[in-house]
Chains A and B, each alone.
Chain A
Amino acid sequence: MIQPTCPLPVLHYDKIVMGHGSGGQMTEELVRDIFAPAFGMPKQLGDAAVLSKVDNGHLVFSTDSFVVQPLFFPGGNIGSLAVSGTVNDVAMMGATPLYLSVGFILEEGLQLDKLRQIVNTMADTARDAGVCIVTGDTKVVERGHGDGVYINTAGVGVQLGLEGPHSGNAKPGDVLLVNGTLGDHGMAIMGVRHGLNLGDALCSDAAPLNGLVKALLTVCPNIHVLRDLTRGGLAAATHEIAQDSGVVIEIEEACVPVKETVRGACEMLGFDVLQVANEGKLLAIVDASDADVVLNTMQAHPLGKEAACIGRVTDVSDGMVICKTAFGSTRVMDMPVGELLPRIC
């Protein structure tokens, strides 16, 4: 019997190679072996998707890119962020997120096992959030031109109310509520980057918040502002809201829930917890008469057990955030400038 002597091309690698982004057989294999089983039926995962017709309400559309380092951290990985981040951006408009697209930029040399883990996390998170990943794209860049994986997601949702919450809608007398402890995600990332080795004591809060938002809007359709407290943390979010609404926001520093470990890590590394990113926390600004029912609903939800009232909108102004200290003094809380930098001493 004659054996073939010329070498056959190897199609099965344990890492990403340039060919995986070629659009040819290897790309197809990647979709077939990794993406399709995780995200659903292969026919849904084309270059474009046809979505069901929406009869009433507005479409809400959002996109976000994820470049986090490290890719894996206590409480999640870049995949859980990529799904929760966009789901939350859509949900903060008071909308129900329905569909996501996902674009991967993979670096040559990335272990396929890692990619599989990230993709499976994305699928799990999407399932938790009740959204479908319906279209996607993959590109591969040469080794050294990316940090393993970059992910872009875009999301579509439907806003049923006439006017959803928005950042220009805070009014004097309103109350500020958050659904739990702040700084968890940012410090989990910093903890890994700086080798604090605190294990799960610093754990990211990354989670899709659309379920919580739905529960809140059910008991209080008139939430004035909803914001996820991502980059820049509470400081950046309140600042933007104060400016967009033309109001003074007053934060009671002692009322802001912060985990002891997060507070300790912030002290050690020299960060202000109010500026640190969250990935599973939202700020709801509501009329004072709605505050109790919204707070109770948050606390009854699994993602809001440690919810708290942290301040109020006091006045009309050109946009200012004031922090009241435990001592009764005040300071202006400014927008964080650029990258968070640790202090020298």
Chain B
Amino acid sequence: MMTGEERMEQEFLFDLESERRVLSAMLHSEEACIEGFNLLAGTDFYSPENATIFELTCSLFEREIIPTYVELIKEAHTLGMLTSTRDIESLQYIVEQYIEDENIKYWIKKVKDKSRLRKFESFLRTSYQSLSAEQELDVEQALLSAEEKLTNLTALEIDDRIDNPADLASLGYEEVERRFLRYKEIMELHKGVLPLDGLPTGFDSLNNITLGFKPGDLVILGAQTGHGKTAYALHTAKAIAVEDNKGLLYLNTEMSREQIALRWGSILSEIEHDRIRSGSINETELSIIFGGYSKLRESGFYSYPCPNLTPEKTVSLARKFKTQKNISMMIIDYIGRMDKFDPRLQEWQILEQIIKTQKTLAQNLKIVVLCLVQLNPDGSLQGAKRMKNECDLMLKLRPIPKEDLEENEQLRNYQNPNYYIEIEKNRDGQSGIKIPITFDMRKQIMKDAARVS
């Protein structure tokens, strides 16, 4: 029989109301579901019943099934869980509560805090038990071991990892060996052409310099208004989602679904965008365009036009699509049109916050995030220094100045170059390089400028 004092102690260790509220919110709103799925684990719930409901909800969410009450009952029934009438009554009680999803983070924190508290309590209890059991205690060793456990409990989040010397040495060994074997392969199989380390960029010259966009990379591309931001984004999407068939989420703050679909028609058929828009095409062209859309149908391209995009929304969408579609990249077209964190902040402060959020997101989800930003008319970028600090690759897309076209000897080696992709920063390689490309604005097509034979 538990004494009153023991019961009091136990009650400090859980908060069933918060657990029910989290579950209830997850069953009412997709946003809450994404938050819960990403921030909690079944083991964070004290009640085994609640942990089961959480696991079932997550399992449905992962399979893109909206976790309604009926779906939960069906899922539980299939798996032979929540079999008694009492189980169903507690589930019904949870479903009948309604929690605004804006409050979900508060309730998740409460559940998480109790979960950590239980771990702390378990640490104290087992430490005390081992103290009482040991006759000849090595005090130094006991304290060190306790300190390590406590540090893990307090300082480290789930994703944190501290490498000990052996870990780091093994990692270094593996990386060097991998690169050594890859170099051999390049020389023997690929005849000296470097294979990519990450996702294709859509340009051979940029692939050679960067070895592709790597998971965790934040890439920033700046261009002036009307100078190809969306064309660049969709060109990248074509290389990754259509030609390489990888999952990609495209967030557009300016264009409608129809506009995006029409752009694809032009990009994939290489027929002038204006003619497609006006419908002045012949039957052969129509069939070419339909052929292009067939490729899009089979691709990994997911589009989300969203005029009221916020940084929080990007996080939530990226998590959802990573879980459900295993995306390798997210493109935000474009940052300047996003709703602000706080209207009192200066423009550069807002941009800095957005960029920091995207970098953390890229690292946590191990995806590439490409942010498009607007250049000032003089080609400069507001908050450029801070953005540069955060990103792994900073590119600018600019028309080649007339005097360069006339005087630059190097450019004479290319056929019809009209734009530069300038590499302002490249964390893993060379920067300060200008890559000449050909941008056909009418067809919305970009490619490496062909060399004069």
Q: Do A and B bind each other?
A: no
Give me the interface of B with A, judged by CB distance under 8 Å: none
